[in-house]
């Protein structure tokens, strides 16, 4: 069950979808309300994201009532076509509401998180864990080249997306 936000402020909801899971973060100012990975049930891939993932995001919007939904920018992305279809479906879902949608590229995230050296998801996760020490215990080990990406990094990337949105809102 998703905890209900007790305050009346409008947080930022960030979503980082993968084919097997969705990383989410809810950020209000400097306070991280929620950060987790939602593993999707075993069902055929298009339905896994488009049904389960969409219902999950809809529930998050209902519970947290964010001022903005942040997604990764899919432009020339090498992400799965299923993930791209999911992001399109979420944008269409939100289009019927007053919720603003923002999309940020890897370059935007790198600029805000100030990750040094080679830019990858693990380095983003380390930078986010330094900023929010309560997440340090969830930090996955560095990825070996022969292993798939640990899905926990999607939660850290969602936090990075939320921080990017927050930074861009301040500059407006």
What's the pTM value of the predicted model, to 2 decimals? Answer: 0.87
Q: What is the pLDDT of residues 58-78, one digit of tens each?
A: 999 999 999 999 999 987 777
Distances (CA, A) of 73 to 13, 33, 37, 102, 106: 15, 23, 19, 8, 8
**What is the structure's pLDDT at 9?**
67
Distances (CA, A) of 104 to 19, 139, 164: 19, 23, 8
- Residues 6 or more apart whose Cβ sits within 8 Å of residue 74: 83, 84, 87, 103
Percent of the chain topping pLDDT 90: 41
Strands annotated E in 12-156: 12-17, 21-28, 31-39, 68-72, 100-104
Q: What is the pLDDT of residues 127-172, one digit of tens each?
A: 999 999 999 999 998 888 888 888 889 999 999 999 999 988 876 5
């Amino acid at each position: 069950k998703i905890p209900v936000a007790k305050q009346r402020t409008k947080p930022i909801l960030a979503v980082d979808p993968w084919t097997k899971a969705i990383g989410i973060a809810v950020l209000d100012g400097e306070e991280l309300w929620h950060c987790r990975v939602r593993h999707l049930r075993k069902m055929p891939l298009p339905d896994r994201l488009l049904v389960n993932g969409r219902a999950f995001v809809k529930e998050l919007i209902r519970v947290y009532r964010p001022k903005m939904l942040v997604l990764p920018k899919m432009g020339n992305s090498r992400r799965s076509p299923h993930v791209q279809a999911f992001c399109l479906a979420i944008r269409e879902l939100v289009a019927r509401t007053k919720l603003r949608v923002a999309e940020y590229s890897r370059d935007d995230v790198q600029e805000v998180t100030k990750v040094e050296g080679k830019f990858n998801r693990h380095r983003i996760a380390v930078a986010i864990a330094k900023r929010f020490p309560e997440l340090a215990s969830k930090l996955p080990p560095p990825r070996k080249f022969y292993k798939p990406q640990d899905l926990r990094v999607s939660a850290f990337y969602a936090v990075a997306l939320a921080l990017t949105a927050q930074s861009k809102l301040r500059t407006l």
